[in-house]
Chain A
């Protein structure tokens, strides 16, 4: 029997020990009327060889693509050592580290992870991770409302924050009567204007500040942070961790030599050694100022000593959590994304400060090179005139959806059409190139796009219709 080791003799001895005639008898407390019949919709079982054939054929059907998609999930090189170590049974099949003495490996790793994320984001404390970047933002919003003692149930959420992050935040916080007020962006520059806060009459608990924003554009984070603080709001940063090797960390946002910094920082951890894998599992990170640590959701690991005075690690501040506080907990969350954090900790350790900076520079260089090649094609132009990092919005002289379909037919995933989320950006695509793209890849994209667009100029689709 797959994954069941019992021999007939074992079963007989065990039933005799229990004192029942059959396994069926063990279910005699379940009302007979409820017992389930066959599971005809479930196929018969497969052994490892046929299931391997099945999965290999499904994977082959999907194949590999030359992808220029970003929009919150990024293709990076993942060093070979990472997943070989992550999938060691001692990490892969371990439980949540409640029994600290039997979980020092996971606990120390989480402490190291927290240390790296705190430094990367320039903040003082970190939790052991959340489900993903979007749900981490939702939790940060709840945290900011708690920090206001629950009195201010309104948070400002710029339209330049990833549309799906905004959707997740809405789905999670709306049930608690929290209003998410959208801030418009400047159509020319593609970022939030600090002046937009002045039009906000009602008080708000926090302002969310993305950097870079969904369009890849750099927001004026110093002015936004200072303006939020001046109006009594917390500043919640949403950042790409790769960018932080290059860009100013949220803990230092604000003008002057002693900037106040963002109060909470969240983001998607996927770029740090986690494969794209159709969307997950990824992990969200969350760091904050020390003063907010007791409002943080999720697992937190602390360093302490054992009864001999030797250093060791344990889950701490558990009085915030659901298994102790039940209905008074800071969140219902009761996992982190342990394996993904393991991958990220290995990734940051292997790359180090210089390696991560090289990745960030290479991504930026590749995206600039891509934008240069594509905007050399007649009719293709950048939409926003602001500095960008790693990702950019381009306007095409034709329907974005149609052009992307034509590119796909030639093996290229050319970016994301924005019209669905931003009707004003019809014919616009969000493109991204990371360190994985060679000059040949960029040339290939540019040549194919040029051909598609020139064919359309010669024979526009309406010509067929008429």
Chain B
């Protein structure tokens, strides 16, 4: 039932809007609306009950284990939410003077400094509103750097084939061409291919480390040297920062620019697909190009540095400076973890991932890279199961939903056939991981004994498997009544 089905002409949530107001008799008639928009006419209870009901049709971290590889679905502490929503923080207008926001700006400044420290970068801007926008800012800075040196020949960004789709899409948005390089059998960047790819046309390399294959690039020092020797810059995609937080810093690995996903590593909520936050960090040589605004401190006074202070900046990413409420949540999280807590993140994320990998392997699952150490995530391939039973990774994932577990990431990275990319995060207990292994074993047994049951899953959710082809062919994107 849609909210529109609750609608009755003349019904209203009377307490929620002004009773009435004088007509706008000063506005010209030809600029006015003639027909009312088709919004629901419902009572407050109708609305509350409808959306509470919808919420219960969702999986979420608060209700289910989410071993979703590359997404870092860890617990979102409730204090981060309640403290970011203190009424004074919510009421402050974005264009209010810095004098009215010293408490808020101090939080932003300290967050900026903490992110610098944990990533080992020379400067950080909190401006990008999501990981993909952080990537955009990062590559735009690489471009600004080369342009400032009059080096117009650098037109290519190198991207490993295991990379997230946002990497090549971002390079194109920044006006670059994309050159893909292959991954070797161990899951590392193919160094020979990289050597062959670099040259005077190379603007930079975008790299995720640990990679989306869940392994640490063993030759990272060598990779840096190859790209830097060719005059290119290196970009660290922070998608997997949780794997190394407190263990090794992108700055120490020699990266020139990085983005972080605070909705992953710093536990801000995913919110059903946003808002995120994608701060960027840079090495010394890229400092002038950071996106505005940045928080600066002058004799204890905090303010936003804008274009006048930062004339070489790549510019603004949003009208009002960024996803401040998300940044506040990350700030509270960072203060609660503290420096000891930061060191523990990667430790326990790696412990959980390696434990889960060991137990699944013991239970008869095939790891894509059994000879490698898992980082904070790892890949199971169901290729053998598919061949013997016809059950695909997709079928398997859907059946896990019936057992109350969110599916791992499926069919990404594209390099491994029938893959499940599994990331437990540090906030899950051994008991939860054991229950997940038991469910995996149960689905595998079912795949072997009654494959049809798995192929037609899920069976116990609000809907059965959906017809995606019809969704795209017979577009129904808005309710027409």
Closest Cβ of chain A to B432, distance in Å, is 9
Instruction: Assess whether A349 is in contact with B42, with CB atoms less than 8 Å apart.
Output: yes
Closest Cβ of chain B to A358, distance in Å, is 5
Q: Judge whether B106 is part of the interface by a CB distance below 8 angstroms.
A: yes
Instruction: Assess whether A91 is in contact with B272, with CB atoms less than 8 Å apart.
Output: yes
Within 8 Å CB of B246, what residues of A?
Answer: 36, 39
Q: Judge whether A222 is part of the interface by a CB distance below 8 angstroms.
A: yes
Q: Judge whether B319 is part of the interface by a CB distance below 8 angstroms.
A: yes
Report the bound CA distance from A336 to B348 in whole Å: 30
Within 8 Å CB of A365, what residues of B?
Answer: 21-22, 24
Report the bound CA distance from A20 to B372 in whole Å: 13
When C-beta atoms are compared, the residue in chain B nearest to A300 turns out to be B477
When C-beta atoms are compared, the residue in chain B nearest to A347 turns out to be B16
Instruction: Assess whether A3 is in contact with B75, with CB atoms less than 8 Å apart.
Output: yes
Report the bound CA distance from A357 to B12 in whole Å: 12
Binary contact readout B67-105 vs A (1 if CB under 8 angstroms, 0 otherwise): 010010111110101010111111111111101111110
Contact of B89 among A18, A131, A278, A387 (CB under 8 A): A278
Q: Judge whether A4 is part of the interface by a CB distance below 8 angstroms.
A: yes
Q: A52-B79, A120-B39, A361-B24 are in contact. Are A41 and B471 (CB under 8 A)?
A: no
Binary contact readout A65-103 vs B (1 if CB under 8 angstroms, 0 otherwise): 101010111010101010101011111111111011111
Binary contact readout A8-35 vs B (1 if CB under 8 angstroms, 0 otherwise): 0011011101111001001111110111
Q: A30-B247, A164-B320 are in contact. Are A64 and B91 (CB under 8 A)?
A: yes
Among listed A167-175, A182-190, A377-385, A454-462, interface-contacting one: A167-175
Among all A-B residue pairs, the 4 with the closest Cβ atoms: A45-B338, A89-B62, A171-B315, A279-B320
Instruction: Assess whether A336 is in contact with B428, with CB atoms less than 8 Å apart.
Output: no
Instruction: Assess whether A351 is in contact with B39, with CB atoms less than 8 Å apart.
Output: yes
Contact of B37 among A46, A120, A350, A416 (CB under 8 A): A120
**Can you pick out 27 interface pairs between chain A and chain B where the beta carbons lie within 8 Å of each other?**
A3-B426, A6-B430, A14-B430, A26-B351, A26-B354, A29-B215, A59-B86, A59-B104, A60-B88, A79-B16, A89-B60, A91-B58, A91-B60, A106-B273, A131-B274, A134-B318, A168-B319, A175-B140, A175-B173, A277-B90, A305-B467, A307-B464, A323-B412, A326-B165, A335-B273, A337-B274, A361-B20
Q: Judge whether B196 is part of the interface by a CB distance below 8 angstroms.
A: no
Contact of A249 among B15, B37, B95, B247 (CB under 8 A): B37
Closest Cβ of chain A to B211, distance in Å, is 12
Within 8 Å CB of B57, what residues of A?
Answer: 103-105, 108
Give me 20 other A-B pairs in contact (C-beta within 8 A), A89-B62, A326-B168 excluded: A5-B429, A14-B430, A43-B335, A58-B103, A65-B96, A90-B63, A91-B272, A95-B71, A99-B397, A102-B407, A103-B57, A109-B54, A247-B31, A281-B129, A302-B476, A304-B467, A310-B464, A322-B132, A340-B275, A342-B272
Closest Cβ of chain A to B30, distance in Å, is 7
Report the bound CA distance from A124 to B480 in whole Å: 10
Within 8 Å CB of A281, what residues of B?
Answer: 129, 274-275, 323-326
Instruction: Assess whether B173 is in contact with A31, with CB atoms less than 8 Å apart.
Output: no
Q: Judge whether B228 is part of the interface by a CB distance below 8 angstroms.
A: no
Within 8 Å CB of A361, what residues of B?
Answer: 18, 20-24
Within 8 Å CB of B153, what residues of A?
Answer: none
Q: Judge whether B52 is part of the interface by a CB distance below 8 angstroms.
A: yes
Instruction: Assess whether B47 is in contact with A308, with CB atoms less than 8 Å apart.
Output: no
Report the bound CA distance from A276 to B113 in whole Å: 25
Within 8 Å CB of A334, what residues of B?
Answer: 130-132, 165-166
Report the bound CA distance from A361 to B24 in whole Å: 6
Closest Cβ of chain B to A360, distance in Å, is 8
Among listed A110-118, A192-200, A201-209, A441-449, interface-contacting one: A110-118
Q: B395-446: which residues lie under 8 A (CB-CB) from chain A?
A: 397-398, 401, 406-407, 412, 426-430
When C-beta atoms are compared, the residue in chain B nearest to A19 turns out to be B358
Within 8 Å CB of A359, what residues of B?
Answer: 17-18
Report the bound CA distance from A106 to B75 in whole Å: 19
Report the bound CA distance from A283 to B359 in whole Å: 43
When C-beta atoms are compared, the residue in chain A nearest to B116 turns out to be A41
Instruction: Assess whether A338 is in contact with B466, with CB atoms less than 8 Å apart.
Output: no
Within 8 Å CB of A73, what residues of B?
Answer: 93-95, 319-320
Instruction: Assess whether B350 is in contact with A23, with CB atoms less than 8 Å apart.
Output: yes
Contact of A276 among B71, B91, B270, B426 (CB under 8 A): B91
Closest Cβ of chain B to A32, distance in Å, is 10
When C-beta atoms are compared, the residue in chain B nearest to A72 turns out to be B319
Instruction: Assess whether A42 is in contact with B17, with CB atoms less than 8 Å apart.
Output: no
Report the bound CA distance from A277 to B329 in whole Å: 12
Closest Cβ of chain A to B1, distance in Å, is 9
Instruction: Assess whether B336 is in contact with A44, with CB atoms less than 8 Å apart.
Output: no
Instruction: Assess whether B83 is in contact with A51, with CB atoms less than 8 Å apart.
Output: yes
Closest Cβ of chain B to A288, distance in Å, is 11
Q: A3-B75, A306-B464 are in contact. Are A245 and B221 (CB under 8 A)?
A: no
Q: A48-B336, A94-B271, A339-B271 are in contact. Are A358 and B247 (CB under 8 A)?
A: no
Closest Cβ of chain B to A215, distance in Å, is 15
Instruction: Assess whether A100 is in contact with B466, with CB atoms less than 8 Å apart.
Output: yes
Report the bound CA distance from A175 to B143 in whole Å: 9
Within 8 Å CB of A275, what residues of B?
Answer: 85, 90-91, 325
When C-beta atoms are compared, the residue in chain A nearest to B319 turns out to be A134
Q: A101-B463, A327-B168, A339-B269 are in contact. Are A108 and B2 (CB under 8 A)?
A: yes
Q: A45-B337, A81-B44, A245-B37 are in contact. Are A276 and B94 (CB under 8 A)?
A: yes
Instruction: Assess whether A304 is in contact with B466, with CB atoms less than 8 Å apart.
Output: yes
Within 8 Å CB of A349, what residues of B?
Answer: 3, 39-40, 42, 47, 50-51
Contact of A108 among B54, B95, B317, B337 (CB under 8 A): B54
Contact of A172 among B19, B136, B358 (CB under 8 A): B136
Closest Cβ of chain B to A154, distance in Å, is 16
Q: A60-B88, A101-B463, A365-B21 are in contact. Are A338 and B273 (CB under 8 A)?
A: yes
Contact of B273 among A1, A128, A302 (CB under 8 A): A128
Q: A373-426: which residues lie under 8 A (CB-CB) from chain B?
A: 387, 389, 408, 413, 416
Within 8 Å CB of A10, what residues of B?
Answer: 429-430
Q: Judge whether B192 is part of the interface by a CB distance below 8 angstroms.
A: no
Instruction: Assess whether B28 is in contact with A387, with CB atoms less than 8 Å apart.
Output: yes
Q: Judge whether A370 is part of the interface by a CB distance below 8 angstroms.
A: no
Instruction: Assess whether A90 is in contact with B55, with CB atoms less than 8 Å apart.
Output: yes
Binary contact readout B461-481 vs A (1 if CB under 8 angstroms, 0 otherwise): 111111110111011111100
Instruction: Assess whether A90 is in contact with B58, with CB atoms less than 8 Å apart.
Output: yes
Identify which of A6, A99, A133 gathers the most chain B CB atoms within 10 Å of its CB.
A99
